Amino acid sequence: MEILQGKTVCPGLFAGPLVIYASPNTKISKTLITPAEVPQELDKVRQALDSVCAALKQIYEKTRGSLGETKAAIFATHKQMLEDPDYRDSIRTMIAEELVKADFAVQQTGEKFAAVFTSMDDAYMQARAADVLDISQQVIVALAPAATTTLATAATPYVLFASDLKPSEIMQLDKTRLGALITAYGSQNSHTAILAKGLGIPTVVALGDLPNQFAGNISVIVDAYKGNVYLNPDATQQKVFARKIATEEKNKALLLTLKGKESITKTGQKVKVFANIGSPADLSLVKQNDAEGIGLFRSEFMYLNRSNFPAEEELFAAYKEVAAALQGKEVVIRTLDIGADKKATYFHLPQEANPALGYRAIRICLSEPKIFKTQLRAILRASAFGKIAIMFPMITSVTEVEEIKIIVETVKADLRQQKIAFDEKIPLGIMVETPAAALCSNELGKLVDFFSIGTNDLTQYTLAMDRQSTSLGKFFNAHHPAVLKLIAMTVDNAHKNGIWCGICGELGADLHLTEEFLRLGIDELSVPPSRVLPLREKIRSLS
Amino acid sequence: MHSFNYVITDPVGIHARPAGLLVQEAKKFTSAITLEAKGKKADVKRIFALMSLGIKQNDTIVVKVEGTDEAQAATALQNFLINNL
């Protein structure tokens, strides 16, 4: 068995036999023609270009029908590229003047135009080189109809492995038995990725090449939630996977009966059941599980696994994507919660004896206002595109909240001055995850618009037990009365101040506590997307 | 000749999707349509030339339209830019 780690494009689970897709991407050698053959070669290439344009028009129509205009537009752009006079001139000139065969002229031209994008100074434009190579490859295939794609037809649902897959290839694949898609290369930002997501096929990219011994007939498990691919999984893996599949199946069944229904008890008490997410990649899960909003958007992901601070634009684009996708449903974005177990080297965080009690989260943001303001600006700008609320982590005192509010006001004033749109009434809330915040929740409640209880940290700080420690098992009680008392106190104080209170930690999804939380009058429970429907089912069964 | 300025608001600039649609829009007219930005110039009916300008958010572009249907073309392109970029 071997595990490959890649990047999730479209989450999902699937197990099946592996089928390897061989892209018809062979290097074409230079073959010369005689001047007399030029007209015939020009004619051939014109026909090939026109036939690919016609095919692209069809793919465009088909994709627009199934995935919408936005996702289909890339094929309209591809068609414009093939109709571009400079592109066509380059091919014709090569054939007529260098006396080369059409396929070679197309390949060279594709590479030349791709190089223009590769040399540009932004990552988005560089990635467009793949588009030019894709369309050129399609013309080459059209020039040699014999060289068709070599995709074995499988009788059972399968996992497709490709070195990389082009947007046109994914749309042309027969998807009836395509269970999952995995690629050695490719990126999460490619048009192929966008299309795979739209099609809802579990997809993992950037896995690297398959190890040699796995080239033959093997079975694979694709966990496209985590980006893991198990080659020839062992019995344990298969068991774990079977359990995961069962949960997913159960949720699918629940969805049929619970989709669009309210999370309401038999006696009419309503609770908002929201989802926790870590990146825009989780949006499909939010939709799939019919969450009523996002109660916790962990914003760390864009800061981790990189070597420099993300730019405001990059953050803004991600927040905007999430806000817009939720179509008016609430999205609670938690500001940077870095430090403790989540480290990024470029922050140059100090080595500490007790990182969980150290320089982390809001403490970093309030010490380095520049980092904080960049994120706040991005969130505020995105608030013009949906219903966003901002939540601050690791609060312990009134002073911190007052300081935060001053900074938020400064950022708002700048935006106003620059005439940049944002939601003037954007709600500000805090995580209640320290005993100090819970004990001061009456005072804090006067300053903010909502509370969300982070039970993981609240438990660890209340019990003085490291949640990552493996030796505290018998001492650790997730339902400790001290924690439940702090939760009750927080909910009471929220309501006393006329604000709502939710839970976004693991306890929120604990069905043994749902009844207790409802009794306390909790307003919102934010849980991992896969737990939304079981929780809604539980709430609807209570009276 | 008709000419107008426009400041790009799209966070990604003139990226692949709207670029294709912009070319498509320009091709509906017979007038010659050029776009200038950052000291470089491109024919709006040529997607590679257009995209290689690398136009980003907040860049000011100058669009010049010349030909028999220049008035309609200028209005149509201005509307397109406002709605898409």
Q: b/e for A101-130, b at 16 or more Cβ within 10 A?
A: bbbbbbbbbbeebbebbeebeeeebebbbb
Give first-to-last CA distance, chain B, whole Å.
23
pLDDT at A71: 80
Structural domain spans, chain A: 2-23+149-235, 35-143, 270-532
Q: Per residue in A431-453, pLDDT tens?
A: 999 999 999 999 999 999 999 99
pLDDT at A73: 82
Q: Per residue in A372-423, pLDDT tens?
A: 999 999 999 999 999 999 999 999 999 999 999 999 999 999 999 999 999 9
CA torsion, ordered A149, A154, A159, A162, to nearest 10 deg? -10
Tokens 């966070």, residue?
B11
- B57: closest chain A residue by CA: A313
Q: How far is B43 from chain A (nearest CA, A)?
A: 11
Q: How far is B75 from chain A (nearest CA, A)?
A: 22
Contacts of B48 in chain A (CB under 8 A): 81, 84, 86-87, 113, 116
CATH 3.40.50.720 correct for A35-143: no
The verdict on a CB contact (< 8 Å) between A80 and B24 is: yes
Q: Per residue in A484-518, pLDDT tens?
A: 999 999 999 999 999 999 999 889 999 999 999 99
Residue among B7, B25, B47 with most chain A CBs within 10 A, to mutate: B47
Contacts of B42 in chain A (CB under 8 A): none
What ipTM describes this predicted complex? 0.85
**Using CA atoms, how far apart are residues A10 and A192, in angstroms rounded to an integer?**
11
The verdict on a CB contact (< 8 Å) between A77 and B54 is: no
Residues A473, A521 contacting (CB under 8 angstroms): no
The verdict on a CB contact (< 8 Å) between A70 and B17 is: yes
Q: How far is A318 from chain B (nearest CA, A)?
A: 11
Contacts of A117 in chain B (CB under 8 A): 51-52
β A228-231/A2-5 pair status: antiparallel
As its CATH architecture, domain A2-23+149-235 has: 3-Layer(bba) Sandwich (3.50)
Average pLDDT, chain A: 88
Q: Per residue in A225-237, pLDDT tens?
A: 888 999 989 888 8
Q: Per residue in A169-180, pLDDT tens?
A: 777 677 778 899
CB count in 10 Å sphere of residue A413: 10
DSSP string of A264-322, one letter each residue = B-TT--B-EEEEEESSGGGHHHHHHTT-SSEEEEEGGGGTSSSSSPPPHHHHHHHHHHH
More confident residue, A72 or A501: A501
Chain B contact residues (CB < 8 Å to A): 11-13, 15-21, 23-24, 45-49, 51-52, 54, 56-57
Contacts of A313 in chain B (CB under 8 A): 11, 57
Matching CATH topology for A2-23+149-235 and A270-532?
no
- A378: closest chain B residue by CA: B11
Note the pTM of the prediction, 2 decimals: 0.57
What is the set of domains in chain B, with CATH numbers? Answer: 2-84 (3.30.1340.10)
Kindly report the CATH class assigned to A270-532: alpha beta
Contacts of A128 in chain B (CB under 8 A): 16, 51
**Using CA atoms, how far apart are residues A114 and B23, in angstroms rounded to an integer?**
19
Q: How far is A343 from chain B (nearest CA, A)?
A: 29
Catalytically annotated residues of B: 15
Tally C-beta pairs within 8 A across A and B: 61
pLDDT at A151: 54
